[in-house]
A and B are shown apart, each in its own frame.
Chain A
Amino acid sequence: MAKLEQPIDAAQPLPVIQVVGLSKCFGSHPVLTDINLAIMPSETVCLLGPSGSGKSTLLRCMNWLERPSSGEVWLHGTQMGYQAGRKRLASEAELAKMRTRIGMVFQQFNLWSHLTVLQNVIEAPIHVQKRPKAEVVAEAEHLLAKVGLHNKLQAYPSQLSGGQKQRVAIARALAMKSDVILLDEPTSSLDPELVGEVLAVIQDLAQAGMTLVIATHEMKFAEEVASRVIFLDQGRIVESSDPKTFFAQPETARARQFLERYIHVGAI
């Protein structure tokens, strides 16, 4: 049952996202088991793990696209999915409002196909957040310039490459001015030659101090950019450490196996 207060550590600043004892089952199949983690401001956390280990589900539970079976998700002191300070489930509208504080970038981009690049970016700030159009458009143009798409404002998604689509999707998430952005394998459906341009944009965000949680199979990127690496296996957090330690000397056999297999596959 929902607690009324976030379990905080007085010695630490308030986490942007705190996940407490979270589990998720699909039917009788447990996909996540007792997940505890805190994402601190300006952290770049990379979620690693074999496919099927629950990375996507964990990200989707954080913004309640998937409702956790048990456990809590706290967003800067408010509990996702519950009415403020109460044990009652939030309404769809209240939940939607909380979701605007968490940006999300999907593996398949999921740009809205009936809207132009610019419209994709301004749609939610104008119609969900009800911010003034002129201000939103100016910001969106700025963001799209930052991700290198200033000359594609009027293009439709179908006219873009995968790398361009994903950069628009990142701009769309940024335009919400959310506290944190969740990225679910943002480069996994890209042609290899387009991966770099997207990772570069993400790296810029990390350096600019944006709080990021990234599920990824890009080990080199994780090693260089992550401030922390979380290794998931079969729905449990098996390791959580700084990237240098994780990649040089993983503590567990499972992580070693995973990295060996990855390096082996990567070598082919």
Chain B
Amino acid sequence: MSLRFDLIWEQAPAFLSGLWNTVWICAIGISLSLILGILLLLPLFSHHKVVRLPTKLLVEAARAIPFLMLAYLVYYGLPSLGLTLDSWSTAILTIVIYNAAYVADILRSAWVNLPKGQTEAARACGFTGVQLLRRIVLPQILIAAAPILGNQAIQVIRDSSFLAIITVPELTFTAKAVQADSFVPFESFITAALLYWVLCLLIEFGVQRLEWVRNFYGKA
């Protein structure tokens, strides 16, 4: 038995293109979901039950749906509601729905754990509403939640592998295509796995850079 990584090397452009697709789909999906997750804080902390409770329910429901199921729902389910998306849009929409729910929940609990004095001092100084959220609460909960948000980003990258099933030409899809072409399943999949690992390491490195910021701020 001999491993044929030379065949993988020949397919390097394909792997790079798959890797690139994974990177940009996840980057856009994660960025948009971060924004959406932050916006969801407004209804989640609304004083009105009729706004707060349904949002909470939706967020919890979205977190309970497995990634693949959500992708199926978007790709195969939405057309019966009259909305047909190509596989790229499906990929991004799935990531956004899936991850925004997690981001909202992570930030919600960071907010709950923010010392009450922080917002009290802000209110005493005349901050209210969105301004209070944007200038005092948000920077602090983003810093506090950075490690958990980083882990969540890693989760998204791993789950994005399911997008191969709905024919998004990302990394897993590429690996599958290469092994079918060249009959090198082990070499092909292990290469993809290593590339996923590199992506996760990069994110962990980024989070660790943030970590020192967090330690630096400490508690006031």
A-side residues, CB < 8 A to B, are 63, 65, 92-93, 95-97, 99-100, 102-104, 106, 108-114, 123-124, 127-129, 156-158, 165, 169, 172, 176
Q: Which of B120, B126, B140 has the most CB of A within 10 A?
A: B126
A65, A96, A123: which contacts B135 (Cβ < 8 A)?
A123
B115, B124, B127, B139: which contacts A63 (Cβ < 8 A)?
B124
Given A65-B120, A110-B117, A114-B139, does the pair A156, B216 have CB atoms closer than 8 Å? yes
B57 at the interface (CB under 8 A from A): no
B120, B123, B218: which contacts A113 (Cβ < 8 A)?
B218
Which residues of chain B have C-beta atoms less than 8 A from A128's C-beta?
125-127, 131
How many angstroms from the CA of A111 to the CA of B219 in the assembled complex? 9
B124, B131, B136: which contacts A112 (Cβ < 8 A)?
B136
How many angstroms from the CA of A102 to the CA of B125 in the assembled complex? 8
22 residue pairs from A and B, CB less than 8 Å apart: A63-B124, A65-B120, A92-B128, A92-B129, A96-B123, A96-B126, A96-B127, A99-B123, A99-B126, A100-B125, A103-B124, A108-B115, A111-B220, A112-B118, A113-B220, A123-B135, A124-B127, A127-B135, A156-B216, A157-B218, A158-B218, A176-B125
Which residues of chain B have C-beta atoms less than 8 A from A63's C-beta?
124
How many angstroms from the CA of A92 to the CA of B129 in the assembled complex? 8
Closest Cβ neighbor of A93 among chain B residues: B128
Closest beta carbon of chain B to A58's beta carbon, Å: 15
A95, A113, A172: which contacts B217 (Cβ < 8 A)?
A113
> Do B220 and A110 have beta carbons less than 8 Å apart?
yes
Given A108-B115, A110-B117; 18 other pairs, CB 8 A cutoff = A65-B123, A96-B128, A99-B125, A99-B126, A103-B124, A106-B117, A110-B118, A112-B121, A113-B118, A113-B140, A113-B218, A123-B125, A123-B135, A124-B126, A128-B126, A128-B131, A129-B126, A165-B220
Closest Cβ neighbor of B125 among chain A residues: A124
Closest Cβ neighbor of A158 among chain B residues: B218
B-side residues, CB < 8 A to A, are 115, 117-118, 120-129, 131, 135-136, 139-140, 143, 216-220
Q: Which of A103, A108, A109, A165 has the most CB of B within 10 A?
A: A108
Which residues of chain B have C-beta atoms less than 8 A from A97's C-beta?
126
Closest beta carbon of chain A to B189's beta carbon, Å: 44
Which residues of chain A have C-beta atoms less than 8 A from B124's C-beta?
63, 65, 99, 102-104
How many angstroms from the CA of A113 to the CA of B120 in the assembled complex? 13
Closest beta carbon of chain A to B42's beta carbon, Å: 14
How many angstroms from the CA of A153 to the CA of B127 in the assembled complex? 23
Closest Cβ neighbor of B129 among chain A residues: A92
